[in-house]
Chain A
Amino acid sequence: MEREKKGIDRKARYASKVRKAAQLLLYRRHSTPGAKGWELRKKIGSDYSKVIDLLNEYLAKIGLTVKVVFEEANPPENPTIDQYDRARFYITLKDDLTIEEAKMVGWRIDDLAALCASIAYIISRGGKAQRKEIEDLLKVKIPGWRVEMDLNKFIRLGYLFEDENGQIYIGWRTRAEVDQKKLIDLLLETEAKTE
């Protein structure tokens, strides 16, 4: 009887922690969404990775997942507690979108293509490129006025980052939302098919 009660208490405790974790990850409290590992530890407790696993199980049912973005450029294979604490946790879509769904999210098809081209170009240049070079690349297929607007939008949203010398880098949002390796592989693959 007592064991049963303890089990119910434990379940209730974890249910409350999962709710708290969902709120922390979904509501934007800083300039960037999501939460750092150390914030989750502070608010949920040292077992936060277990709570995140439980939340993930729940989110999977509705097509969402918790994405962990590590500070390191190459994500560690077996992350340490310290690496988890310094990582940022986000909730993202679990599966890919169709063009129709992307329109529902509020993106035009040519904006998506421009973002894709910009990211691929920066990756090909070793992680940074001059704004002018990206503008020239985009202007081949998109009107000039739109290129300027698009680049500013990508920078504002955090997909790209521009320094004071007009050098553009991959932004925090691209690291969180885009599988860069897969993007390059798909690009090369697609080209091979069209050749």
Chain B
Amino acid sequence: MGSLLSEKQRDIKEAREELQRIIGLCRSVEIKGLDPYIVDVDDLVKVIRDYFPMWKDSEDLCLDAEAINSIASVVRMQGEWVKRRASALYRDPFLIEEKVRGLPVDKMAEIFLKVWRPIIELEQLTIKGFREALKYWSDLPPLNVRWQKIGYTKTETECVTREEVIKEGVLSSEPFMAELEKVWLELKSRVLRDGKIRYWDFIGSETYEDTVRRAYLTSFLVTYGYANLQINFSEDEIFILPNEKPLNRENSETISFPISISFEEWVRWKEKRRA
């Protein structure tokens, strides 16, 4: 019984060594860049398959998986090897190396010149570019101005009055709804014969701050049913149409339609209007 057990253990030990040898062989082919076809993949797979029923420990199963993985690497290399040999550029590496070593320098340079077409490129400053750069330079404030830190004065905390908040522009001097109604009346008076006005023509103002304020109020005009938006997607235009009386929108479906009121947009609108 004891001799049987030790024989089995010896078999397992030999099998492990065999797997280690397979892994080593596959690795050396990969590292040394040898011809992958020197490995008889079928034979190695057969050996691994024969040993497989012996494995009980997880360590042995890992070794088995590693051996399979290294064989897979060799198969991959065989595929690449065939692909490379089949390519138009393939020539025997030793032959080329011999030729590279054997040819004199001038002959080698001469050959290269027959196949070399250098890229042409320019590095040149144009008058236009120079003029733009000069303008940029003259408009560029000095570093001490650009990097100037924003100063502040420390004051004691105290209560603010309503007048001060209005002066800072945080609150309006009129109640919100009164201001909204004022904008609504203005809208009604400014619409054209077809009962609508371009959105930007209505909200646009002399200053960007006022434009944003008017856009803000206009959004409430629409939300509260004082006006409707008409969007013409094909011409990329938005119109605003005032209602005679505020509509009750409690039961109707509402959707959000974001409109960008960026500074650039405002500048564009102003320039267009000036033109």
Contacts and interface: CB of A to CB of B under 8 A. Distances in A.
Contact of B115 (A94, A121, A182): A182
Given A110-B105, A124-B97, A173-B119, A186 B114 contact: yes
A112 B118 contact: no
B255 interface: no
Nearest to B122: A26
A127 B142 CA distance: 52
A7 B114 CA distance: 42
B100 to A, nearest CB: 5
Nearest to B97: A124
Given A110-B105, A113-B108, A91 B96 contact: no
Interface string A53-67: 000000000001101
A177 B118 CA distance: 5
B156 interface: no
A190 B107 contact: yes
Given A98-B113, A113-B106, A34 B119 contact: yes
Nearest to B93: A124
Contact of B91 (A65, A177, A188, A194): A188
A28 B121 CA distance: 7
Contacts of A182: 114-115
Interface string A109-126: 110110111001101111
B118 to A, nearest CB: 6
Given A109-B105, A110-B105, A112-B109, A96 B96 contact: no
Given A113-B112, A125-B93, A105 B118 contact: yes
Contacts, number: 141
Given A115-B112, A124-B91, A67 B101 contact: no
Contacts of A179: 115, 117
Interface residues of B, number: 36
Interface stretch (B20-28, B81-89, B167-175, B209-217): B81-89
Given A93-B120, A113-B105, A184 B113 contact: no
A113 B88 CA distance: 23
B117 A67 contact: yes
A92 B115 CA distance: 12
Given A92-B119, A93-B120, A94-B117, A187 B88 contact: no
B113 A97 contact: yes
Nearest to A73: B87
Nearest to A92: B117
Interface of A: 26-28, 33-34, 64-65, 67, 74, 90-94, 96-99, 102, 105, 109-110, 112-113, 115-117, 120-121, 123-126, 137, 140-142, 173, 176-184, 186-188, 190-191, 194
| 7 closest A-B pairs by CB | A116-B112, A124-B96, A113-B108, A124-B93, A92-B117, A112-B109, A113-B105
